[in-house]
Copies of this chain bind each other. A is one copy, B any other.
Amino acid sequence: MAHSSRLVDLVHERIEDFLAERTSILRSISPDLDPLDLFSRRFLSGGKRFRALFCYWGWEAVHGRGFDPFDADDEVDLAPVVSAAAALELFHAAALVHDDIIDKSDTRRGAPSAHRLFETLHAESGWAGEADAFGIDAAILLGDLLLGWSDELLDAGLDALPDRAAARAARTEFMRMRTEVTAGQYLDILEERAWVAQPDDEQRLRAERIIVYKSAKYSIEAPLVIGGAIAGADGAQSAALREFGLPLGIAYQLRDDLLGVYGDPEVTGKPSGDDLREGKRTMLVAIARERLSAGQRRLLDELLGDPDLDADQIRMLQRTIAECGAVDELESMISDHAARAVAVLERAPLSQAARSELGALVRTVTRRSS
Protein backbone atom coordinates (compact mmCIF):
# COMPACT_ATOMS: atom_id res chain seq x y z
CA MET A 1 0.00 0.00 0.00
CA ALA A 2 3.02 2.30 0.41
CA HIS A 3 3.46 2.22 -3.36
CA SER A 4 -0.18 3.15 -3.88
CA SER A 5 -0.09 6.04 -1.50
CA ARG A 6 3.23 7.31 -2.92
CA LEU A 7 1.73 7.01 -6.41
CA VAL A 8 -1.31 9.04 -5.40
CA ASP A 9 1.07 11.75 -4.15
CA LEU A 10 3.03 11.73 -7.39
CA VAL A 11 -0.15 12.00 -9.45
CA HIS A 12 -1.34 14.83 -7.27
CA GLU A 13 1.97 16.69 -7.75
CA ARG A 14 1.85 16.12 -11.49
CA ILE A 15 -1.67 17.56 -11.66
CA GLU A 16 -0.64 20.56 -9.54
CA ASP A 17 2.39 21.27 -11.72
CA PHE A 18 0.38 20.94 -14.89
CA LEU A 19 -2.36 23.24 -13.61
CA ALA A 20 0.24 25.80 -12.52
CA GLU A 21 1.50 26.02 -16.12
CA ARG A 22 -2.08 26.43 -17.36
CA THR A 23 -2.68 29.12 -14.74
CA SER A 24 0.06 31.20 -16.28
CA ILE A 25 -1.55 30.92 -19.74
CA LEU A 26 -4.94 31.92 -18.35
CA ARG A 27 -3.39 34.74 -16.30
CA SER A 28 -1.65 36.11 -19.39
CA ILE A 29 -5.07 36.48 -21.02
CA SER A 30 -7.13 37.99 -18.19
CA PRO A 31 -7.61 37.83 -14.41
CA ASP A 32 -11.29 37.32 -15.22
CA LEU A 33 -10.33 33.70 -15.92
CA ASP A 34 -9.29 33.05 -12.32
CA PRO A 35 -12.49 31.13 -11.50
CA LEU A 36 -11.71 28.58 -14.25
CA ASP A 37 -8.38 28.04 -12.58
CA LEU A 38 -9.71 27.96 -9.04
CA PHE A 39 -12.55 25.57 -9.78
CA SER A 40 -10.27 23.26 -11.81
CA ARG A 41 -8.02 22.91 -8.80
CA ARG A 42 -10.93 22.31 -6.51
CA PHE A 43 -12.27 19.46 -8.63
CA LEU A 44 -8.87 17.90 -8.95
CA SER A 45 -7.82 18.08 -5.34
CA GLY A 46 -9.86 15.13 -4.10
CA GLY A 47 -11.58 11.98 -5.22
CA LYS A 48 -10.70 8.35 -4.79
CA ARG A 49 -8.12 8.32 -7.60
CA PHE A 50 -9.15 4.78 -8.55
CA ARG A 51 -8.37 5.40 -12.20
CA ALA A 52 -4.86 6.60 -11.39
CA LEU A 53 -4.29 3.58 -9.17
CA PHE A 54 -5.47 1.08 -11.77
CA CYS A 55 -3.31 2.78 -14.39
CA TYR A 56 -0.27 2.50 -12.15
CA TRP A 57 -0.89 -1.11 -11.19
CA GLY A 58 -1.49 -2.01 -14.85
CA TRP A 59 1.96 -0.58 -15.52
CA GLU A 60 3.55 -2.31 -12.55
CA ALA A 61 1.90 -5.59 -13.50
CA VAL A 62 3.78 -5.57 -16.81
CA HIS A 63 6.93 -3.78 -15.80
CA GLY A 64 7.51 -6.66 -13.45
CA ARG A 65 9.22 -4.77 -10.71
CA GLY A 66 8.16 -2.05 -8.37
CA PHE A 67 10.01 1.11 -7.61
CA ASP A 68 11.21 2.02 -4.20
CA PRO A 69 9.16 5.02 -3.25
CA PHE A 70 11.71 6.02 -0.66
CA ASP A 71 14.76 5.71 -2.88
CA ALA A 72 15.44 8.88 -4.85
CA ASP A 73 18.05 7.04 -6.94
CA ASP A 74 15.56 4.53 -8.26
CA GLU A 75 16.11 4.63 -12.00
CA VAL A 76 12.68 3.54 -13.14
CA ASP A 77 11.21 6.36 -15.18
CA LEU A 78 7.79 6.89 -13.73
CA ALA A 79 7.02 10.09 -15.65
CA PRO A 80 5.01 8.49 -18.48
CA VAL A 81 2.75 6.41 -16.25
CA VAL A 82 2.32 9.19 -13.68
CA SER A 83 1.31 11.62 -16.44
CA ALA A 84 -1.10 9.10 -17.95
CA ALA A 85 -2.63 8.46 -14.52
CA ALA A 86 -2.95 12.21 -13.96
CA ALA A 87 -4.53 12.57 -17.43
CA LEU A 88 -7.15 9.97 -16.49
CA GLU A 89 -7.99 11.99 -13.38
CA LEU A 90 -8.30 15.19 -15.43
CA PHE A 91 -10.51 13.46 -17.96
CA HIS A 92 -12.66 12.16 -15.13
CA ALA A 93 -12.99 15.64 -13.62
CA ALA A 94 -14.13 16.95 -17.03
CA ALA A 95 -16.68 14.16 -17.34
CA LEU A 96 -18.01 14.87 -13.84
CA VAL A 97 -18.40 18.60 -14.54
CA HIS A 98 -20.57 17.82 -17.58
CA ASP A 99 -22.27 14.91 -15.83
CA ASP A 100 -23.40 17.12 -12.97
CA ILE A 101 -25.00 19.53 -15.44
CA ILE A 102 -26.77 16.64 -17.15
CA ASP A 103 -27.89 15.02 -13.89
CA LYS A 104 -28.79 18.40 -12.35
CA SER A 105 -26.59 17.48 -9.38
CA ASP A 106 -26.06 20.26 -6.89
CA THR A 107 -23.22 18.55 -5.10
CA ARG A 108 -20.05 16.67 -5.87
CA ARG A 109 -18.05 15.02 -3.09
CA GLY A 110 -20.09 16.91 -0.55
CA ALA A 111 -19.28 20.34 -2.06
CA PRO A 112 -21.16 22.36 -4.69
CA SER A 113 -20.91 21.06 -8.27
CA ALA A 114 -19.17 23.25 -10.89
CA HIS A 115 -22.30 24.83 -12.35
CA ARG A 116 -23.44 25.71 -8.84
CA LEU A 117 -20.08 27.35 -8.10
CA PHE A 118 -20.37 29.53 -11.20
CA GLU A 119 -23.99 30.27 -10.34
CA THR A 120 -22.91 31.51 -6.90
CA LEU A 121 -20.11 33.56 -8.44
CA HIS A 122 -22.69 35.28 -10.65
CA ALA A 123 -25.13 35.86 -7.82
CA GLU A 124 -22.43 37.35 -5.59
CA SER A 125 -20.98 39.62 -8.29
CA GLY A 126 -24.13 41.58 -9.10
CA TRP A 127 -23.94 40.77 -12.79
CA ALA A 128 -26.80 41.05 -15.28
CA GLY A 129 -28.88 38.09 -16.47
CA GLU A 130 -29.76 34.82 -14.80
CA ALA A 131 -27.29 33.20 -12.42
CA ASP A 132 -28.34 29.61 -13.15
CA ALA A 133 -27.94 29.96 -16.93
CA PHE A 134 -24.48 31.45 -16.43
CA GLY A 135 -23.62 28.56 -14.11
CA ILE A 136 -24.45 25.96 -16.73
CA ASP A 137 -22.81 27.81 -19.64
CA ALA A 138 -19.59 28.39 -17.72
CA ALA A 139 -19.49 24.77 -16.53
CA ILE A 140 -19.87 23.50 -20.11
CA LEU A 141 -16.75 25.52 -20.97
CA LEU A 142 -14.85 24.40 -17.85
CA GLY A 143 -15.53 20.78 -18.81
CA ASP A 144 -14.29 21.46 -22.36
CA LEU A 145 -11.13 23.03 -20.99
CA LEU A 146 -10.43 20.04 -18.74
CA LEU A 147 -11.11 17.63 -21.61
CA GLY A 148 -8.46 19.34 -23.71
CA TRP A 149 -6.03 19.46 -20.83
CA SER A 150 -6.39 15.75 -20.07
CA ASP A 151 -5.27 15.03 -23.56
CA GLU A 152 -2.39 17.44 -23.30
CA LEU A 153 -1.16 15.79 -20.11
CA LEU A 154 -1.39 12.34 -21.68
CA ASP A 155 0.70 13.49 -24.63
CA ALA A 156 3.29 15.08 -22.40
CA GLY A 157 3.67 11.71 -20.67
CA LEU A 158 3.75 9.64 -23.85
CA ASP A 159 6.25 11.98 -25.51
CA ALA A 160 8.69 11.05 -22.75
CA LEU A 161 8.34 7.36 -23.60
CA PRO A 162 11.16 6.02 -25.80
CA ASP A 163 9.09 3.02 -26.96
CA ARG A 164 6.91 4.57 -29.71
CA ALA A 165 4.81 1.44 -30.22
CA ALA A 166 3.97 1.46 -26.51
CA ALA A 167 3.03 5.14 -26.69
CA ARG A 168 0.78 4.48 -29.66
CA ALA A 169 -0.92 1.53 -27.94
CA ALA A 170 -1.58 3.60 -24.80
CA ARG A 171 -2.98 6.46 -26.85
CA THR A 172 -5.22 4.19 -28.90
CA GLU A 173 -6.71 2.75 -25.73
CA PHE A 174 -7.23 6.23 -24.24
CA MET A 175 -9.06 7.36 -27.37
CA ARG A 176 -11.24 4.30 -27.55
CA MET A 177 -12.08 4.77 -23.87
CA ARG A 178 -13.07 8.37 -24.53
CA THR A 179 -15.44 7.41 -27.35
CA GLU A 180 -16.89 4.49 -25.42
CA VAL A 181 -17.56 6.35 -22.18
CA THR A 182 -19.29 9.19 -24.02
CA ALA A 183 -21.39 6.64 -25.90
CA GLY A 184 -22.17 4.95 -22.57
CA GLN A 185 -23.25 8.23 -21.02
CA TYR A 186 -25.52 8.87 -23.97
CA LEU A 187 -27.09 5.40 -23.56
CA ASP A 188 -27.55 6.20 -19.86
CA ILE A 189 -29.44 9.46 -20.40
CA LEU A 190 -31.34 7.85 -23.26
CA GLU A 191 -32.50 4.94 -21.11
CA GLU A 192 -33.96 7.29 -18.47
CA ARG A 193 -36.37 8.45 -21.19
CA ALA A 194 -36.52 5.67 -23.78
CA TRP A 195 -37.23 2.73 -21.42
CA VAL A 196 -40.97 3.30 -21.84
CA ALA A 197 -40.62 2.40 -25.51
CA GLN A 198 -38.52 -0.73 -24.91
CA PRO A 199 -39.63 -4.33 -24.28
CA ASP A 200 -39.34 -5.30 -20.60
CA ASP A 201 -37.37 -8.44 -21.43
CA GLU A 202 -34.51 -6.37 -22.87
CA GLN A 203 -34.07 -4.22 -19.78
CA ARG A 204 -31.28 -6.21 -18.15
CA LEU A 205 -29.37 -6.34 -21.40
CA ARG A 206 -29.67 -2.58 -21.82
CA ALA A 207 -28.72 -1.91 -18.20
CA GLU A 208 -25.67 -4.13 -18.56
CA ARG A 209 -24.58 -2.37 -21.76
CA ILE A 210 -24.68 0.96 -19.94
CA ILE A 211 -22.66 -0.45 -17.04
CA VAL A 212 -20.03 -1.86 -19.38
CA TYR A 213 -19.49 1.28 -21.47
CA LYS A 214 -20.30 4.09 -19.06
CA SER A 215 -18.36 2.64 -16.21
CA ALA A 216 -16.67 -0.75 -16.25
CA LYS A 217 -14.38 -0.24 -19.23
CA TYR A 218 -13.84 3.41 -18.42
CA SER A 219 -13.16 3.20 -14.70
CA ILE A 220 -11.10 0.04 -14.50
CA GLU A 221 -10.42 -1.88 -17.71
CA ALA A 222 -9.06 1.06 -19.74
CA PRO A 223 -6.84 2.53 -16.98
CA LEU A 224 -5.29 -0.91 -16.43
CA VAL A 225 -4.71 -1.46 -20.15
CA ILE A 226 -3.27 2.05 -20.63
CA GLY A 227 -0.83 1.49 -17.76
CA GLY A 228 0.10 -1.92 -19.15
CA ALA A 229 0.60 -0.49 -22.65
CA ILE A 230 3.04 2.12 -21.32
CA ALA A 231 5.11 -0.70 -19.83
CA GLY A 232 5.05 -2.46 -23.23
CA ALA A 233 2.44 -5.15 -22.49
CA ASP A 234 2.29 -8.08 -24.88
CA GLY A 235 -1.00 -9.54 -26.16
CA ALA A 236 -1.40 -12.01 -23.30
CA GLN A 237 -0.75 -9.36 -20.67
CA SER A 238 -3.22 -6.89 -22.18
CA ALA A 239 -5.80 -9.66 -22.46
CA ALA A 240 -5.30 -10.59 -18.80
CA LEU A 241 -5.70 -6.97 -17.72
CA ARG A 242 -8.93 -6.77 -19.71
CA GLU A 243 -10.28 -10.08 -18.43
CA PHE A 244 -9.60 -8.95 -14.89
CA GLY A 245 -10.73 -5.35 -15.38
CA LEU A 246 -14.08 -5.88 -17.06
CA PRO A 247 -15.82 -8.03 -14.41
CA LEU A 248 -14.27 -5.92 -11.65
CA GLY A 249 -15.53 -2.80 -13.41
CA ILE A 250 -19.01 -4.27 -13.59
CA ALA A 251 -18.90 -5.12 -9.87
CA TYR A 252 -17.66 -1.58 -9.18
CA GLN A 253 -20.61 -0.01 -10.98
CA LEU A 254 -23.15 -2.38 -9.41
CA ARG A 255 -21.84 -1.25 -6.02
CA ASP A 256 -22.26 2.35 -7.22
CA ASP A 257 -25.86 1.61 -8.19
CA LEU A 258 -26.56 0.32 -4.68
CA LEU A 259 -24.87 3.38 -3.13
CA GLY A 260 -26.96 5.65 -5.37
CA VAL A 261 -30.09 4.24 -3.72
CA TYR A 262 -28.94 3.13 -0.27
CA GLY A 263 -25.74 5.14 0.32
CA ASP A 264 -25.24 7.20 3.47
CA PRO A 265 -25.26 10.88 2.42
CA GLU A 266 -22.65 11.61 5.09
CA VAL A 267 -20.27 9.21 3.40
CA THR A 268 -21.17 9.51 -0.30
CA GLY A 269 -21.49 13.31 -0.31
CA LYS A 270 -24.65 12.90 -2.39
CA PRO A 271 -28.26 13.21 -1.13
CA SER A 272 -29.94 9.96 -0.04
CA GLY A 273 -31.70 8.13 -2.85
CA ASP A 274 -30.22 10.49 -5.44
CA ASP A 275 -30.51 7.96 -8.29
CA LEU A 276 -34.22 7.52 -7.56
CA ARG A 277 -34.95 11.21 -8.01
CA GLU A 278 -32.82 11.27 -11.15
CA GLY A 279 -34.69 8.28 -12.53
CA LYS A 280 -31.57 6.29 -13.39
CA ARG A 281 -32.55 3.00 -15.06
CA THR A 282 -29.91 0.86 -13.41
CA MET A 283 -29.50 -2.90 -13.16
CA LEU A 284 -31.03 -2.64 -9.67
CA VAL A 285 -34.16 -1.10 -11.16
CA ALA A 286 -34.25 -3.63 -14.00
CA ILE A 287 -34.08 -6.53 -11.52
CA ALA A 288 -36.66 -4.96 -9.21
CA ARG A 289 -39.05 -4.46 -12.11
CA GLU A 290 -38.76 -8.16 -12.98
CA ARG A 291 -39.46 -9.20 -9.42
CA LEU A 292 -42.25 -6.80 -8.45
CA SER A 293 -45.97 -7.42 -8.95
CA ALA A 294 -47.61 -5.46 -11.78
CA GLY A 295 -49.09 -3.00 -9.28
CA GLN A 296 -45.79 -2.40 -7.47
CA ARG A 297 -44.01 -2.04 -10.80
CA ARG A 298 -46.49 0.64 -11.88
CA LEU A 299 -45.89 2.53 -8.64
CA LEU A 300 -42.11 2.31 -9.07
CA ASP A 301 -42.35 3.57 -12.65
CA GLU A 302 -44.53 6.44 -11.53
CA LEU A 303 -42.24 7.65 -8.77
CA LEU A 304 -38.84 6.97 -10.34
CA GLY A 305 -37.38 10.17 -11.83
CA ASP A 306 -39.63 12.54 -9.90
CA PRO A 307 -37.22 15.24 -8.68
CA ASP A 308 -39.61 16.14 -5.85
CA LEU A 309 -39.69 12.76 -4.11
CA ASP A 310 -39.81 13.35 -0.36
CA ALA A 311 -37.95 11.44 2.35
CA ASP A 312 -40.91 9.12 3.01
CA GLN A 313 -41.28 8.25 -0.65
CA ILE A 314 -37.53 7.59 -0.92
CA ARG A 315 -37.71 5.26 2.10
CA MET A 316 -40.74 3.48 0.65
CA LEU A 317 -38.95 2.91 -2.68
CA GLN A 318 -35.81 1.72 -0.89
CA ARG A 319 -37.91 -0.78 1.04
CA THR A 320 -39.87 -1.96 -1.99
CA ILE A 321 -36.71 -2.60 -3.98
CA ALA A 322 -35.02 -4.42 -1.11
CA GLU A 323 -38.02 -6.54 -0.12
CA CYS A 324 -38.50 -8.01 -3.60
CA GLY A 325 -34.99 -9.46 -3.35
CA ALA A 326 -33.35 -7.16 -5.92
CA VAL A 327 -30.68 -6.00 -3.48
CA ASP A 328 -29.72 -9.57 -2.58
CA GLU A 329 -29.54 -10.52 -6.24
CA LEU A 330 -27.34 -7.50 -6.95
CA GLU A 331 -25.06 -8.31 -4.02
CA SER A 332 -24.61 -11.79 -5.36
CA MET A 333 -23.87 -10.43 -8.84
CA ILE A 334 -21.19 -8.22 -7.28
CA SER A 335 -19.64 -11.20 -5.51
CA ASP A 336 -19.74 -13.33 -8.66
CA HIS A 337 -18.06 -10.66 -10.77
CA ALA A 338 -15.46 -9.97 -8.10
CA ALA A 339 -14.74 -13.69 -7.89
CA ARG A 340 -14.31 -13.90 -11.67
CA ALA A 341 -11.81 -11.05 -11.52
CA VAL A 342 -9.87 -12.72 -8.72
CA ALA A 343 -9.81 -16.00 -10.63
CA VAL A 344 -8.28 -14.28 -13.67
CA LEU A 345 -5.62 -12.75 -11.46
CA GLU A 346 -4.47 -16.11 -10.17
CA ARG A 347 -3.33 -17.37 -13.54
CA ALA A 348 -2.39 -14.03 -15.15
CA PRO A 349 1.09 -13.39 -16.66
CA LEU A 350 1.48 -10.32 -14.44
CA SER A 351 3.90 -9.39 -11.67
CA GLN A 352 3.41 -10.84 -8.23
CA ALA A 353 3.31 -7.43 -6.52
CA ALA A 354 0.62 -6.18 -8.89
CA ARG A 355 -1.47 -9.32 -8.57
CA SER A 356 -1.42 -8.96 -4.83
CA GLU A 357 -2.27 -5.25 -4.90
CA LEU A 358 -4.99 -5.73 -7.54
CA GLY A 359 -6.49 -8.44 -5.34
CA ALA A 360 -6.67 -5.92 -2.50
CA LEU A 361 -8.23 -3.36 -4.85
CA VAL A 362 -10.97 -5.87 -5.71
CA ARG A 363 -12.05 -5.74 -2.09
CA THR A 364 -11.73 -1.93 -1.90
CA VAL A 365 -13.84 -1.15 -4.94
CA THR A 366 -16.55 -3.75 -4.41
CA ARG A 367 -17.06 -3.22 -0.67
CA ARG A 368 -16.73 0.56 -0.44
CA SER A 369 -19.32 2.82 1.13
CA SER A 370 -18.61 5.95 -0.94
Contact = CB atoms under 8 A, between A and B. Distances in A.
Interface of A: 22, 25-26, 29-30, 32-33, 36, 95, 98, 101-102, 122, 125-129, 134, 137-138, 140-141, 143-145, 147-149, 151-152, 155, 159, 168, 171, 175-176, 178-180, 182-187, 189-190, 192-197, 209, 213, 279, 305
B305 A128 contact: yes
Given A129-B192, A183-B26, A193-B128, A159 B168 contact: yes
A92 B148 CA distance: 14
A137 B187 contact: no
B145 A147 contact: no
A158 B315 CA distance: 56
A32 B185 contact: no
B148 A197 contact: no
B305 A185 contact: no
Contacts of A149: 179
18 contacts: A22-B179, A29-B187, A30-B183, A32-B194, A33-B187, A36-B183, A36-B186, A101-B137, A125-B197, A128-B193, A137-B189, A141-B185, A143-B144, A145-B182, A147-B148, A148-B175, A148-B182, A155-B171
Which of A149, A178, A179 has most chain B Cβ within 10 Å? A179
A325 B369 CA distance: 66
Given A129-B192, A145-B179, A98 B140 contact: yes
A148 B178 contact: yes
